Structure 1
Amino acid sequence: MLLDPNPNAEIDVDVSLYLPTAEDAVQSSEFSQPIVGPSAEFLTELIDDVQNSRSAVLRQEHNDETDICWLAVPTINEGLVSSIVVIRYSGVLSRSAALELWQLSDGRAELSLHHGCYGPMSHFRAISEHVHFPIGVGLPGTTWKMRQPRMLTPLGTSPEFVRAANAEKAGLESGIGFPVLGSDGELDSVLLMLASHEIPFAARFEIWTEEADGLVQLEVLNAPRPAGNPSSWDGDKLRETIEDLIYEAFEQRQAVVETLPVLVTEEAASPGENGHWRAIVLPVLAEKQSALVFWIA
């Protein structure tokens, strides 16, 4: 197993929502900290790339202090970009974690690695660059086939995860797959979030789908760090709030980023207890609608 090279490195995850207009991309929700200097120019180029390609974009920015990985995920409605969620990961790649963007080849017969952020996992990167996924094969291929978000854990022993042995050596234990639909409503790419037990990408992931009798929560993945009493995540009031946000995303045909008070008990300490948690809803606007919901402090 590859141990985290710098387990004490500070992790910073931040998010913002952009709603493109006829003239520009309007920032709907702001980053917690202003983006200035070279990163501001980097962010502008990122937004332009998404609007021009109408596809998800994954980029890595290098500076003197840490590697920053930028992820921009669009929601496409009737051929147009209706929203762009931009997530800025700083320090995440100092852990055993990887972000991958798998894109359909020109013949649209299989998914190939388009871009990846791997930190020190050079061997896992090298293996991934030579792997291709037909529909229904591996986590990217099954996410493509099902056209809804997927969770897979543990990766190292899963027969579904093609790179299981390599994932185990790299210390990767959990995987999230998210399908990005293109302008024609068909799959454009698949985003994978792969992480060790620490799961540095978010405090919690949830997968929801819309059924005939309402929304159903299919899967949940919690990060093993203080995030309030676990029961606080599953309270009726919070569940109703999440369902409202998902329905809003479906009705508005765009992603939703909402700041909510954290729910903790008196005994629990939370990284967001002095402020709020941010809930991000990424909808999949397929025939059967679904959503990936995740929380950051």
Structure 2
Amino acid sequence: MKTFIRVAEVWVPDADGHLLEFGGGLYGSAAAFGTISRQMCFGRGEGLPGRVWEEGRPILLKDLQGGGFRRAAAAKDAELTGAVAFPVFVDDAFKAVVVLFCGGDADEAGAIELWRNDPRITGDMTLVDGYYGAASAAFEATGRETYLPRGSGLPGLAWQREGSVFIEGLSDSAKFVRAAEAASAGIERGLAIPCPLPTRDTYVLAFLSASPTPIARRVESWAPDAEGAALQRTFGFCETDGSLPAGDAEDAAAFAQAIGKAMSSGVPSLRPRANGHAPESGPGGMIALPIAGGGAVAEAVALYF
């Protein structure tokens, strides 16, 4: 099964706080791209990770060949065409930059959207930009015309809850305002995660999946239990097994250490496949994304490839 996200990277500040260093990556079949990436570092404003660090906000690139992307030639060779990068802050402290890359096959349905609320301008959340793969132009056009109040639509729900939201059946959900357009585009599932920043602006990333090329093979959210003594799965979905039960999850035991590390450190954590081999397409392994709330990490969203 090919995933819409082809590569995942983490960039972390060095000991002096002057550069972003390579903090790990899942590259799958893009091995040469990974080799080049591991040797790089970025100052503030340099490359995509450096721009995100400097500007302190998510940035979506629909075309990696459009200028400003330092690894454009390697990305072209790896058939990587778009990317979204976002900073990770915990209690206003900068922790890392995450970069997720997509491919450009004509048959790859799905989308990644970046939504924003600027309270100085509007009380709604609007679309900043999106990477749409083979999704219909009508789906994209409708998104650009959509204004989401807090609590409305998939991004608006993540904004309201200040946490991740997953909807298994978008076309049947009254909570997804573009249900008809999603059905026409073959988009079936949606995951929205907030990107907390030390500013008044609110950003939400929406990952929209189609069955042939899902965003990830499996998605989960993990959070402390009522006593704060252990982590438990709050939701999960697997493209093979369907909905996953909440609570203790023995099926994720092999990845528990990486999830716990992201929760405790506030730095995204990656775990390659245990056997060291990536699947036929996609990066292989898992990335755990810490989501901050109330001055601490409130949950970790795990994407399995």
1:3-14 aligned at under 5 Å gives the runs 13-14=6-7
Alignment of 1:24 with 2:33, yes or no, is: no
Secondary structure of 1:151's counterpart equals: strand
Secondary structure of 2:62's counterpart equals: strand
1:37-116 aligned at under 5 Å gives the runs 44-61=46-63, 68-91=81-104, 94-105=107-118, 106-107=120-121, 109-116=123-130
2:143 paired residue among 128, 145, 148:
128
Q: Tell me which residue corresponds to 1:246.
A: 259
2:298 paired residue among 268, 289, 292:
289
- Name the CA shift for 1:92/1:134 in 2 (closer, same or farther; >3 Å): farther
1:197 paired residue among 211, 224, 245:
211
Residue-by-residue CA offset, 1:118-170 (whole Å, 9 max, x unaligned): 13421111111010111111111111111111111211111000011111111
Residue-by-residue CA offset, 1:36-55 (whole Å, 9 max, x unaligned): 69xx9999521122101211
Secondary structure of 2:98's counterpart equals: strand
Residue-by-residue CA offset, 1:202-232 (whole Å, 9 max, x unaligned): 211111222323322122222249xxxx9xx
1:141 paired residue among 121, 138, 156:
156
Q: Tell me which residue corresponds to 1:151.
A: 166
1:205-284 aligned at under 5 Å gives the runs 205-213=219-227, 214-224=230-240, 236=250, 239-261=252-274, 272=279, 277-284=284-291
Residue-by-residue CA offset, 1:169-211 (whole Å, 9 max, x unaligned): 1111100111110015x76201001121234322111112223
Secondary structure of 1:118's counterpart equals: strand
1:163-202 aligned at under 5 Å gives the runs 163-184=178-199, 188-202=202-216
1:161 is aligned with what amino acid?
F
Segments of structure 2 that go 5 or more residues without pairing to the other structure are: 66-75
Residues 11, 92 of structure 1: 8 Å contact kept: no
Report how many aligned residue pairs link the two structures.
Answer: 272
1:15 paired residue among 8, 12, 15:
8
Q: How high is the TM-score relative to the length of structure 1?
A: 0.79
Secondary structure of 2:293's counterpart equals: coil
CA RMSD of superposed structures (Å): 3.5
Residues 278, 285 of structure 2: 8 Å contact kept: no
Q: Which moved more, 1:110-119 or 1:66-75?
A: 66-75
Residues 3, 217 of structure 2: 8 Å contact kept: no
CA distance in 2, matches of 1:59, 1:277: 23
Identity of paired residues, percent?
21
Residues 18, 84 of structure 1: 8 Å contact kept: yes
Q: How high is the TM-score relative to the length of structure 2?
A: 0.77
Secondary structure of 2:182's counterpart equals: helix
Q: Which moved more, 1:133-142 or 1:28-37?
A: 28-37
CA distance in 1, matches of 2:158, 2:121: 19
CA distance in 2, matches of 1:49, 1:119: 24
1:28 is aligned with what amino acid?
G
Quote how far apart the aligned CAs of 1:108 are.
5.5
CA distance in 2, matches of 1:16, 1:152: 25
Q: Tell me which residue corresponds to 1:3.
A: none
- Name the CA shift for 1:108/1:245 in 2 (closer, same or farther; >3 Å): farther
Segments of structure 1 that go 5 or more residues without pairing to the other structure are: 1-7, 264-269
- Name the CA shift for 1:223/1:198 in 2 (closer, same or farther; >3 Å): farther
Q: Tell me which residue corresponds to 2:32.
A: 34
Quote how far apart the aligned CAs of 1:279 are.
1.3
Residue-by-residue CA offset, 1:255-285 (whole Å, 9 max, x unaligned): 111224159xxxxxx9639xx9421011111
2:235 is aligned with what amino acid?
E
Secondary structure of 2:32's counterpart equals: coil
Residues 232, 249 of structure 2: 8 Å contact kept: no
